[in-house]
Amino acid sequence: MNRSKFWGVFCLAWVLLMSLGVFSSHALLAQDEIVNAVATVQDTQGVIVGSAFFTQAGNNVWAVIQVNNLPPGFHAMHVHGIGQCDGSTTPPFSSAGGVLGDDAGELPEMLVLQDGTGYMATTTDRFRVAELMDDDGSSIVIHTGRNADMGAGIACGVVHTLASAETAAANLAAIAAVPLDQLPAKVSREEGAEHGTLVLTLQSMGGIQIVGDVRSGAAGQIGDVTREGDMLVFNFTEITYDVAPINLPGGFRIGAQTIKLDPAQPSTLKMDINTGEIFRDFHWIQTATDVLYDDSPSIALGDTAKAQVAEVRDLGDNRYAIRLLTHWKSLISLETWTIGGVTMPSGDIEATAEFDGVYIMDFNK
């Protein structure tokens, strides 16, 4: 593609953002209203084929949806009223119920390109993000065919909230289930046990937001947990996340990336067992295949994250599952960056990610 086309896309995005009032006040939001939600879109086999991001901006919802590996052409796309995506039923994804409230969940059709990718940023004022999170939840469903000629669902994603900010009381309640007197314990994680949505805000491109999927890599021990005075200390030695390829508008594609702990620096999560307060100190290195960040395929990521223990479950046999919600943020400042050899406008990229993960604490010596 040529550069003028590329800029055309971003000018359009800028106009869209401004018209949405994304940068204006949030005065129209009710207090404590849920304003952000994400969905990981999977095909009928459960393979991840995309993601969706919803944000409440005043009375409007801004939606960004991107897909890979879907059949080319226009596809009907709706928010359905139940948060369940079961691809094994006939027809697939009937578990998601009908379109959200009197067709309020109808979205513009998604155009999938010949290479199987699609990207859409759109707006609607026919529902609020908070409504997506009612008791039975909601899903985004992509169908075969256009609205007028619609077939079965081919892809579906359950809409879920982003992790709330750290909640000390919830942490305390959860940690009360852990046998602190039996420390230390090994900490391990199953492959895919931690899943997150990465949102990149490209400041140099008018603040456009791109959504990506992040999943924990190989299974196995990732560290241990010890006690230092009033602190429960998780020492992490090996955590890897796989970042799925990210499509940018205009046909640019950031290939698969990994985010790993920096082996040269300790990474810890400490929890005060009296107050429930969590203190994180993590150091990450992100490595790309076809992206150069300031001429390097790797870049150190800062980490200002808040974490919350959502649940501790006794698995029996001296093993406990600890479910951790993490809201992560990093600012990447770049002099230069290229995708597939093409130079991108330099500037800051704000990366935020929401992780929902299950770690296993094993007290067997």
Binding site for Cu ion (CB under 5 A): 78, 141
User: What CA dihedral angle connects 330, 263, 215 and 183, to 10 degrees?
Assistant: -100
The Cα–Cα gap between 238 and 267 comes to 9
Q: Is 313 exposed, middle or buried (0-12, 13-18, 19+ CB in 10 A)?
A: middle
Closest CA to 20 of 264, 208, 251, 246: 208
Which of 43/356 has CB closer to Cu ion? 43
Which of 78/215 has CB closer to Cu ion? 78
Which of 8/98 has CB closer to Cu ion? 98
Residue 78 CB, nearest approach to Cu ion (Å):
3
**Residue 66 CB contacts under 8 Å (≥ 6 apart), including other chains:** 50, 51, 52, 117, 118, 119, 120, 210, 211, 246, 247
Residue 104 CB, nearest approach to Cu ion (Å):
12
Which of 78/128 has CB closer to Cu ion? 78
Closest CA to 66 of 211, 206, 195: 211
Residue 134 CB, nearest approach to Cu ion (Å):
18
Residue 151 CB, nearest approach to Cu ion (Å):
10
Which of 110/174 has CB closer to Cu ion? 110
* Nearest residue to Cu ion on Cβ basis: 78
The Cα–Cα gap between 311 and 167 comes to 12
Q: Is 207 in contact with 175 (CB distance < 8 Å)?
A: no
CB atoms within 10 A of CB 154: 23
The Cα–Cα gap between 10 and 148 comes to 30
Which of 49/208 has CB closer to Cu ion? 49
